[in-house]
Amino acid sequence: MAPAAPRCARAVIEYDGTAFAGSQRQSQQRTVQGEVEDALNKLTGERITVRFAGRTDAGVHATGQVMAFCLPTSARAGTIGWRELQRRLNAVLAPDVAVRGLRSAPRGFDPRRAAAARTYRYRIRQGGDRRPTDRHRTLEIPDRLDVAAMRAAASQMIGERDFAALGSDPHGRTVRRLMAIRIRHQASLIEIVVTGNAFLRRMVRSLVAILVAVGRGEVAVEEIEPMLDARQRALRGRAAPACGLTLERIRYPRTGEINDT
């Protein structure tokens, strides 16, 4: 009789990135991957590796990060249903990370390579308006921004192009496709919602830094195209603080559903 195949899963997880050194495991650092893998180890007695749809930097949050992992056939949790495994994981995970959904996945499912699009949201509270209970996920600034100019600048960034001016890639492949940039404005709150097929390291935060500079009148809308075409780091590599950024959604092509949970 052939040995039983490992059970594989995909999950949507949420985390407050304030106290994490990023999503990927790092030596001597607290990371989301480390927390989840340690929780799986406690439940199964096995060392299980999880894979994420996207890498988030220190201080960046997520409400719709997707991860995948497989349970070895020898694992103590090998026969536990997915809902029960989700409940047990959340019981042992730290309060700043939680599994929002858990379901079966085909063996070999790669949440990063299979993703068709990712959506990030950046929150800015302008005009000196302070919200202490919201400060870990919102950038607070004293300025008032020109939202119309920011929208005009954002329209110049849509499409497929080389975005080396906004970020880096370990393999030097810097062409990405931005599908949409929506800027929502209500009272003191500005939200920049960015969707693309994939993102370079620090790309969204660099994009936000440019839009804020436009909103402050430091950069003209007409400067956006030349800035991107130059392929040198825009604004000398300036990036918006991590606290305002959240990885919100992942889309997969088979169903077109966001997060597909």
Q: Would you please indicate which residues are annotated as catalytic (active-site) residues?
A: 57
Instruction: Give the whole-angstrom CA distance, residue 61 versus residue 58.
Output: 9
Contact predicate 243/139, CB 8 Å: yes
Instruction: Give the whole-angstrom CA distance, residue 26 versus residue 222.
Output: 41
Total Cβ atoms within 10 A of residue 129: 13
Question: What is the rounded (10 degree) CA torsion for 18, 241, 155, 121?
Answer: 10
Closest CA to 202 of 161, 162, 245, 232: 245
Instruction: Give the whole-angstrom CA distance, residue 139 versus residue 125.
Output: 6
Sorted by sequence, the CB contacts under 8 Å of residue 197 that are 6+ apart come out as 116, 117, 118, 176, 177, 179
